[in-house]
Structure 1
Amino acid sequence: MMQKQMIFSRDEYDRRIRRVKEIMDRRGMELLLVTDPANMNYLTGYDGWSFYVHQGVILSLAFDHPLWFGRQQDANGARLTTWLPDACIFGYPDEYVQSRYTHTMRYVAQLLRDQGLAEKRLGLEMDGYWFSARMYLTLQEELNRAVLMDATNLVNWVKSVKSEPEIAYMRQAARICEKVMQTAIDAIAPGVREKDAAAMVSAAQIAGTDEFGGAPPAIFPIMPSAERTSTAHLTYDPDRQYRLGDVVLLELCGARHRYHAPLARTVFLGDPPDDLIKTADGVVTGLQETLQFIGPGTTAEEVEARWRAAIAHTGVVKPSRVGYSYGLNYVPDWGEHTVSLRPGDKTVLKPGMAIHFMPGIWLDTYGFECSEPVLITDNGCEKFIEFPQQLFVKH
């Protein structure tokens, strides 16, 4: 028997599954098909870079254990990283992999028939990266006596409140992020090639600290310079060198066992113009005032409204959301797709939620970012990371 490589206790996984089943039962679902790799990890511990093919976890109200299915060559990964017994791990043959002639959901449908689960009320993560229209249509065709239901983000909402063991890994990710951000700021200078700075950042993310190693985060280092900073999600220019007069945005992250700690800061090379200084001062002041407001019992939209009030006198305008919940995830996003700090989101913040407060500003020719990842506590919020909140100026 293979030696399990679990990072949480069995009790921790049992707690998560009980909570998910409670919500399934409340919504009238008897089965749940989980295809999001982060949610698979959350429920079972599975941690393989195998999500380019169909895989999933099936949770039944009638069964004590979830069922894992994936490509046969990945089955040992499930035996190594999950708490599941071998009898609950099902590997399908390669004839199903990216086939023009059949589909993996036919295998899944037969698995459900073999388990006596083919005529149940089945929840599906319909609006996610890992579930396609072809998957839905095949299940609909194969399971014509089942009731297919929308379970989008069901597990994500359970994930949004972190346990103490999860928070411990997020604190470790935060220590990694501090080193990563300092690495980036130290590396950026006029004449340095952007690709070289980005390479040092990626190396620091994996190297972690002397005490514990890191992992590549769900989002590649976002490090645009000059006019590329006027938009939100560009990376480095592989053929460019930094120059005097550059603004450089840094949206970076540390990750530990797929748990994240993101942070954004801004660097200017040379003497910053007055309008950038004014923008930076306004954003940092608004950030600090809003952090004093965030706490349990406040709603997501109240936090955004407090931010707008804090910067109203500055002339700075941010039409997009100013934050979101985050934590355990895989590419392409460390966000959880649940809480958004924006008008209309009535979510009440609870102790254990992790929020990336991200008031990024993108103007016509440049941007400015200064963010904070925080943990909602019993009486306010706690910063995960201690890093100066300022515009970093280098000559």
Structure 2
Amino acid sequence: MTNSTATSGLARGIEAAFPAAEFEARLAAARNGLAARGLDAAVFTGPENIFYLTGQQTPGYYTFQCLVLPAEGEPVFLLRQLEVTNFLRNTYLPEYEAYGDGQRPAELVVDALAKRGLTGKRIGIEKGGWFLPIAFYEALAAVLPRIEDATGIVEAMRRVKSAAEIAKIEQSVRQADLGIQAGIAAVREGVSENDIVAEMMHAAIKGGAEYMGMEPLVSSGPRSGVPHATWRRRKLEAGDGVFMEMSGCYDRYHSGLMRTAWVGEPPALARELEKVVLAALDAAIGAARPGATCAAPHIAAQRIIDAAGMTERYRKRTGYSLGISFAPDWGEWQVASLHDTVDIPLEPGMCFHVVPALRDYGVFTIGISESICITETGARILGKTPRTIQMK
């Protein structure tokens, strides 16, 4: 089914996150990326890249959708029929094709390429993404003589945020502040992890948050010493540590905030880890400046941790890019990470969640983080929640 704006009684782009001119500029920049790789067209399937280029967003991205972007000529969006109304409200693209349940969307892609004279051309696909079904790739490979890798074209464009994007991330951080502060206020002996998360989500959503790319991470007592553990009805007891981390979400732009609370007085080891985490956080933020690379903040934090003799407690990256996210993540892991293996230069407009955490595994975690934006002179901290362990 081929459609145009004339088929809809809806105002086009009424819920778009940015003006039409912004998306036109992004599509033009993506075409430049295609040209740099010698591609005649690209098929984008990642929901984050699709949103960046078109504004399309839906929780229904679990069904197949893609943007076919020719190096010359107009793009076409392919999607499930049920999502068309959503598409019309969120985008300004004039051309789309919809498939019904029971149809095979891979055939629609092949047909769309053929109608645009692209069958024998160099076609790029995001081979490094999560949303490229094997059956879809095989169907294209059966009819296209050569499939190139388009991974990284849009991700590189997403690294440096515009002022409008940063404003959305700032709103997201404000929501995360509200959520974390509500969670800390709820901590006391006898309440459950579920009670804490309920307060966090209530505060963030009441503060304007949409559905997040990942659920909050909240755990208490021995469970708080398990990476990525989250709420499971446990009731807090005297002497428990409580780890909490969450993101806000504003027009699909995410943030991150991590804090630690305690029911009573933390043990001596917790206070020792807190000092090291705070020093590592300060060192990482201090090293996050234009002219350095993504490795610099991680190296600065790792140096503090190593000097304290806690190397074995820290075997991970120090941060990751913030921006557009859909489940299952709230970070832009595809865009950039703060780690000693990443030599991407830091530039003004880049945003990161800086996440040092030290654990007594299976006992407790001390995690304290900040969302930051790189400026001309260094890094600007976006959140406002106090960093130190909050005793309840």
Same fold (TM over 0.5): yes
Q: CA deviation at 1:162?
A: 0.5
Q: Which residue of 2 aligns with 1:46?
A: 56
Q: Which residue of 1 aligns with 2:4?
A: none
Q: Which residue of 1 aligns with 2:82?
A: 73
Work out whether 1:334 is the aligned partner of 2:330: yes
SS in 2 for 1:264: strand
Q: Which residue of 2 aligns with 1:100?
A: none
Q: CA deviation at 1:262?
A: 0.8
Distance 2:310 2:190 in 1: 32
Instruction: Verify the 8 A CA contact 1:75 1:90 in the aligned structure 2.
Output: no
Q: Which residue of 2 aligns with 1:379?
A: 377
Instruction: Verify the 8 A CA contact 1:171 1:384 in the aligned structure 2.
Output: yes
Q: Which residue of 1 aligns with 2:321?
A: 325
Distance 1:127 1:150 in 2: 8
Work out whether 1:189 is the aligned partner of 2:188: yes
Distance 1:167 1:105 in 2: 36
5+ residue gaps, structure 2, are 1-8
Instruction: Verify the 8 A CA contact 1:268 1:392 in the aligned structure 2.
Output: yes
1:351 is matched by which residue type in structure 2?
Answer: P
Cα-to-partner distance string for 1:166-212 (whole Å, 9 max, x where unaligned): 1111111111111111111111211012212212222222222xxxx
CA RMSD, 1 decimal:
1.4
Q: CA deviation at 1:343?
A: 1.8
Q: CA deviation at 1:127?
A: 2.1
Distance 1:267 1:153 in 2: 39
Q: CA deviation at 1:230?
A: 2.1
Q: Which residue of 2 aligns with 1:2?
A: 10
Question: Where do 1:182-331 residues align within 5 Å?
Answer: 182-208=181-207, 213-238=208-233, 240-317=234-311, 318-331=314-327
Work out whether 1:33 is the aligned partner of 2:43: yes
Distance 1:332 1:45 in 2: 19
1:170 is matched by which residue type in structure 2?
Answer: I
Q: CA deviation at 1:233?
A: 1.0
Q: CA deviation at 1:55?
A: 0.7
Work out whether 1:154 is the aligned partner of 2:162: no
Distance 1:288 1:323 in 2: 13
Q: CA deviation at 1:353?
A: 0.7
Cα-to-partner distance string for 1:74-119 (whole Å, 9 max, x where unaligned): 112111110112xx111112112xxxxxx32112111211222222
Q: Which residue of 1 aligns with 2:124?
A: 123
Q: Which residue of 1 aligns with 2:5?
A: none
Distance 1:47 1:184 in 2: 29
After TM superposition, the structure 1 stretch with the greater mean CA deviation from structure 2, 355-364 or 51-60, is: 355-364
SS in 2 for 1:77: helix
5+ residue gaps, structure 1, are 97-102
Cα-to-partner distance string for 1:260-279 (whole Å, 9 max, x where unaligned): 11111111111110000000
Distance 1:270 1:383 in 2: 29
SS in 2 for 1:158: helix
Distance 2:148 2:162 in 1: 28
Cα-to-partner distance string for 1:44-78 (whole Å, 9 max, x where unaligned): 11111111111111111111x32111111111211
SS in 2 for 1:128: coil
2:96 is matched by which residue type in structure 1?
Answer: I
Distance 2:116 2:110 in 1: 10
SS in 2 for 1:59: strand
Q: CA deviation at 1:259?
A: 0.5
Cα-to-partner distance string for 1:22-47 (whole Å, 9 max, x where unaligned): 11111111111111111111111111
Cα-to-partner distance string for 1:230-262 (whole Å, 9 max, x where unaligned): 222111013x21111211111111111110111
Distance 2:269 2:223 in 1: 18
1:331 is matched by which residue type in structure 2?
Answer: A
Q: TM-score, normalised by structure 2?
A: 0.93
1:148 is matched by which residue type in structure 2?
Answer: I
2:121 is matched by which residue type in structure 1?
Answer: K
Distance 1:355 1:140 in 2: 37
SS in 1 for 2:86: helix
Which of 87, 91, 103 is 1:82 aligned to? 91
Determine what percentage of the aligned residue pairs are the same residue: 29
Q: TM-score, normalised by structure 1?
A: 0.92
Distance 1:221 1:247 in 2: 16
Point out 4+ residue stretches in structure 1 off by more than 6 angstroms: none
Instruction: Verify the 8 A CA contact 2:287 2:296 in the aligned structure 1.
Output: no
Distance 1:135 1:316 in 2: 46
